[in-house]
Structure 1
Amino acid sequence: MSTSPRITIKDLARELGVSTASVSNAFNRPDQLSPRLRERILSEAHRLGYSGPDAKARSLRTGRSRIIAVVLAESLTYSLNDPVASELLSGIAEVLDAHGHTLLLLSGRQHVSQAPGSASMADGFIVYGLMPSLKVLNDLPVQRPLIAVDFDIEARPSVHIDNEPACHAIAHHALASRPARRIGVINLRLTASPCNGPITDDQVLLSAERTITRLRLAGFHRAFSEHGIDPADVPMWNIEENTFEVCTPVVEAILDLPDDERPDLLLCTSDRIALTVLTLAERRGLRVPEDLRITGFDGIAEGQYRAPRLTTVRQDSVEKGRIAARMILGLSPHEDRRLDTELILGDTCP
């Protein structure tokens, strides 16, 4: 049985009476064409079964694939469901779409040898979050541009928010607004070895270059010291994954402590942790903020649309993604960037 030959970019251009460059721009650089011409080209391409320029052929011909790979520290399912990660990806995609680039998502939990073949053709890499192994980064092509988001890679530009000052501000507010008898800090991935529970003295903490949690903790500690509290006297817990299911056993153990041991102020390094505390506290009949005050970090919509409204720090994750994308495309200088945050005073720690 014979099959029809695959239509080429030259065939389509000839059929439409336009240049091959116009056809290429319709798929890869939409800003270079009028909307009417682009729609005409795409409509005819669809009718003839032409799906667009071959990325591998274009890469071999021009040295550029117009593919930008985003390497995520977590699984793709987790990242797409996480409000902060999904907002970051939205900002990246917005810029790439506007400039005719394709977004390729990779998981840092997948060995680079298992990644799609197009990963090796990517024009650049945006790496987001605490990688499970630095080997993932070592396997990326060293000659391609790379931007780190929320952690540092030597000799590569990074995009951060003001983690330490932001956490200093929210802890200072909590301590100044009302005295706390028992303070606790719940961290996200602070320990070098896996730990889902109390942090003990024999555990090694990750450096600030590896995890933003260390910077957030430094802000809390600065506020403690200014209020005459020894940071060493404040108990800490660690959460391994920023989900309700993983947070729950740790938070339940804290809230089920005897009344004279249970914290009356919990500073949480993510909104997901803080919202888990709030939900489980309400199930136990604890009054928030009368019996327990809670602070979060991130400013996700869920924390602002429920009652009591979460006291937190809002970061603009969409803009963080836009900045990283502009840098990787060469539209902004390759230099370290740090974004400001906003303190939101809600009902959980007024």
Structure 2
Amino acid sequence: MSEQKSWTLKSIAKELGISNATVSNAFNRPDQLSKKRREEILESCQKLGYSGPNKAAQSLRKGQSNIVALVLPDSVEYMISDPVASDFVKGVSSVLEKSNVNLLLFSGASENINAVSDFVDGFICYGSPRNPNLVEQLRTTAKKVVTADFDIDRKASVGIDNEQAAYDISKLAIKSKNDDIAILGLRLLDSNLTCRVYELPDDEGTPSIAHKRLAGYQKAIKEHGAELRNDRIWNIPKSSHEVALIAAREALTSTPRPNVILCMSDLIALAVLQEICAMGLNVPNDIRVVGFDGIDEASRSTPPLTTVHQNSEEKGNMAAELFINRATNAVVIPYHIEIGHTVNSN
């Protein structure tokens, strides 16, 4: 037999002197051949270096690849280190694997979903991508799209009621109109700077998660008759301990020092607790702190953190189920408040 550098189904069939269909059946439909005949064909193909029909070409012909691209809001490197995102990915993958569907992680900082669009059955998008161009591409693609924690008018979506959850957790932390309140926000601004927020940009379309949580905080503050000073909101560009510490130190050294700190993630809240401890202050007697997410570290902190548990793994389960079932509805999943020791019980 002659040597050939690159085999196709057609050329390997010609080389073996059999039909294209017989080669295809040997790889894809073993019930169509006797065991002996199939083994002979596969052995000959192996000797020639032919591993079977091109899977990408098969996928294009069938219009199905059994691969779903999970579009993350930021770089893959950052997102896999985030415990909330990790729980979501775990939830998505556990459902897809049961349906023999593979998962491709796609960075929200990328330029174009078209790089993978031809090779996937569709997209699950977790949070609004950092690159705004991807949002429009996801809105207009012909492929199936399910969004989590934001909406692009593709109908299939899953999330929690962020505004109500933020309101509920704030009600536990704020005790009177005399409270001095600080908010450590997460991506309130489209900026990489950790800074005070004196003016929020106008929302175009659907408000972001951060703005919904801020609205919940503001509602609770107003109901208590308290005042949120215009220098008491911080923008933190990403949910990481090191970046959050910068805002925590600035807030805790403000004059007067706030006695209530509302944090838009547990990682931010844990950084605040560390700094409060380093200053020799007491939680909750001197300062009351609440978080948002319900990560495992929150329950193990000293003291245990009061936070919103948003059931991220369940959210991932639901996103995957919506995709597999080709659903077109929006699903709001429940959250619950985990009561720790960072607010007064009375």
Please give the TM-score of this superposition, normalised by the length of structure 1. 0.81
Q: Secondary structure at the match of 2:243?
A: helix
Give 2:106's aligned residue. Answer: 106
Q: Equivalents in 2 of 1:249, 1:61: separation in Å?
A: 53
* Aligned counterpart, 1:37: none
Deviation of 1:208 after TM superposition, in Å, equals: 7.6
The Cα shift of 1:155 comes to 3.8
2:145 matches 1:133? no
SS in 2 for 1:173: helix
1:235 to 226, 232, 238: 232
The answer to whether the Cα contact below 8 Å between 1:189 and 1:211 also exists between their aligned partners in 2 is: no
- The match for 2:245 among 243, 248, 251 is 248
In structure 2, the partner of 1:38 is none
What letter matches 2:280 in structure 1? G
After the TM superposition, which residues 19-98 of structure 1 pair with which residues of structure 2 at under 5 Å, given as runs?
19=31, 54-98=54-98
- How does 1:1-350 map onto structure 2 within 5 Å? 14=26, 18-19=30-31, 54-112=54-112, 117-140=115-138, 142-176=141-175, 181-201=179-199, 203-204=200-201, 206=203, 209-231=206-228, 235-258=232-255, 261-330=256-325, 333-350=327-344
> 1:60 Cα shift?
2.1
Distance 2:202 2:163 in 1: 16
* In 1: Cα distance, 2:29 partner to 2:192 partner: 62
Residue in 2 aligned with 1:34?
Answer: none
2: CA distance between counterparts of 1:20 and 1:271?
57
Larger radius of gyration: 2
Distance in 1 (CA, whole Å) between partners of 2:330 and 2:28 is 46
Shift in CA distance, 289/315, structure 1 to aligned 2, threshold 3 Å: same
Paired letter, 1:346: G
Is the CA contact 1:191–1:206 (under 8 Å) kept in the aligned structure 2? Answer: no
Pair 1:207–1:104, CA change in 2 (3 A): same
The separation in 1 between residues aligned to 2:172 and 2:29, in whole angstroms, is: 67
- The Cα shift of 1:139 comes to 3.3
Q: Secondary structure at the match of 1:103?
A: strand
Give 5+ residue unaligned stretches, structure 1. Answer: 22-43
Question: Cα distance, 1:278 vs. partner?
Answer: 0.7
Query: Which whole-Å CA distance do the structure 1 matches of 2:59 and 2:22 have between them?
Result: 18
| Partners of 2:215 and 2:103 in 1: CA distance | 35
- Label 1:247 to 1:55 Cα distance change in 2 as closer, same or farther (>3 A): farther
With the length of structure 2 as denominator, give the TM-score of the two structures: 0.82
Residues in 2 aligned to 1:16 and 1:337: alpha-carbon distance in whole angstroms: 38
- Matching residue of 2:36: none
For 2:12, the equivalent position in structure 1 comes to: none
Deviation at 1:142, TM superposition (A): 1.6
| 1:231/1:284 CA distance change after superposition, 3 Å | closer
1:178-223 CA-partner distances (Å, limit 9, x unpaired): 776311111101124554111113x425468252111111111111
Q: Supply the RMSD in Å over aligned alpha carbons.
A: 3.2
CA contact (8 A) 1:224 1:230 kept: yes
Q: Distance in 1 between matches of 2:230 and 2:99?
A: 52
**Which region of structure 1 is more displaced relative to structure 2, 267-276 or 282-291?**
282-291
Unaligned regions of 5+ residues in structure 2, if any?
10-20, 34-41
> How far apart are residue 16 of structure 1 and its match?
11
Separation in structure 1 between the aligned mates of residue 100 and residue 93 of structure 2, nearest angstrom: 10
